[in-house]
Copies of this chain bind each other. A is one copy, B any other.
Amino acid sequence: MANHLPTETVSIALAERSYDILIGCGLLDLPSALSCGSASAEALIVTNTTVAPLYAERLQRVLALHHTRVRTIALPDGEVYKDWATLNLIFDELLREAFDRKTVLYALGGGVIGDMTGFAAACYMRGVSYVQVPTTLLAQVDSSVGGKTAINHPAGKNMIGAFYQPLRVIADLDTLDTLPDREISAGLAEVIKYGPIADDAFLGWIEQHIDALRARDKTALACAVRRSCEIKAWVVGQDERESGLRAILNFGHTFGHAIEAGLGYGEWLHGEAVGCGMVMAADLSVRLGLIDAAYAERLTTLIERAGLPTRGPRLGAARYLELMRVDKKSESGQIRFVLIDAPGRASLHRADDALVAEAIEAHCV
């Protein structure tokens, strides 16, 4: 059944940087899905030690039909390795093997691999092409789409990076079969996010299908990935470099980044931190009188049903605030929060530290 799902295409309109997101089953073995670079170019698959044994050989075999040379590099797995030292392993390989400016990089893995590969592509010889092949739900619905690439700095997440669009995104839903349950839940956090910020009807659909999604029903997953990508494409198409609207995609992320940084990257999954961050952000929206408590409650219930934490670590509100001040959305030391203005609509707000502290304390273990 699942394999007979039609492949769907969502397009991101960014003038000469436009590209397609392909969503479907069996795409990793489909030569046509993977044909988008120059035929004469060389290719480097960048993956990690967890994903490599699962999918690298298959991808390498199909890419050999399109490229004169295909090599694979497997980085250590985890958010803690999203740093310069690990990024440099990609540059070392590219230079040791004399890959030239026509090289295409393939990011095979989750958000960390996608972000690092994209940033490596942005910087290698001042820019080579890359293709996203996301193998986690989180990467398929969010991080592989839209051209945000980065590495972490000890002082802040994603602080060093570039806006750099891929040639294509290939979301093979079959790769989600090998994903741990915890990572499915983490991905669902970013799916849920699109409801309160852009599409209240989608939130209702997720509520109805949350169990099917957690059970990896392919039809439900295809629908969730497609709608998520459509919303992201719509936002990114209007504001590629996050000068305004695009910031709404960071709903829950300001609190979430503080949780990740406060505990040390990798302790919680990014999606878990975002899940809990959305609970805090919804609460802050209520405290500012933007939405009623029932809507925040509804969102919290769904986040819980997705298998995500709804209570943050007890770092103390002061520490949260300190960590949030280095957020990229901050301006002159003032934190800006993505808050819900109404069901399906969000924007940036400032808030008093005292109110923010209340929203944090109300949702810490």
Contact = CB atoms under 8 A, between A and B. Distances in A.
A39 to B, nearest CB: 13
B91 A123 contact: no
Given A96-B155, A126-B149, 8 more contacts: A68-B332, A95-B159, A100-B331, A100-B332, A102-B331, A123-B160, A126-B162, A126-B163
Given A68-B332, A127-B241, A326-B95, A162 B84 contact: no
Contact of A91 (B68, B98, B159, B333): B159
A353 B242 CA distance: 49
B125 A328 contact: yes
Q: Looking at chain A, what size class is its interface with the partner chain?
A: 35 or more
A84 B148 CA distance: 21
A165 to B, nearest CB: 13
A126 B161 contact: yes
A253 to B, nearest CB: 14
A282 interface: no
A84 B95 contact: no
The secondary-structure label for the interface of chain A is: mixed
Interface string A323-365: 0011010111100000000000000000000000000000000
A95 B127 CA distance: 25
A100 B161 contact: no
Interface of A: 40, 42, 68, 84, 88, 91-92, 95-96, 98, 100-102, 122-127, 148-150, 153, 155-156, 158-163, 241-242, 325-326, 328, 330-333
Contact of A331 (B101, B163, B242, B325): B101
Given A95-B153, A95-B156, A153-B91, A162 B127 contact: yes
Nearest to A102: B331
Nearest to A332: B100
A44 B191 CA distance: 39
Contact of A126 (B100, B150, B156): B150
A334 to B, nearest CB: 9
Contacts of A91: 153, 159-160
Given A326-B95, A331-B101, A159 B125 contact: yes
Given A96-B155, A101-B331, A162 B162 contact: yes
A102 B332 CA distance: 9
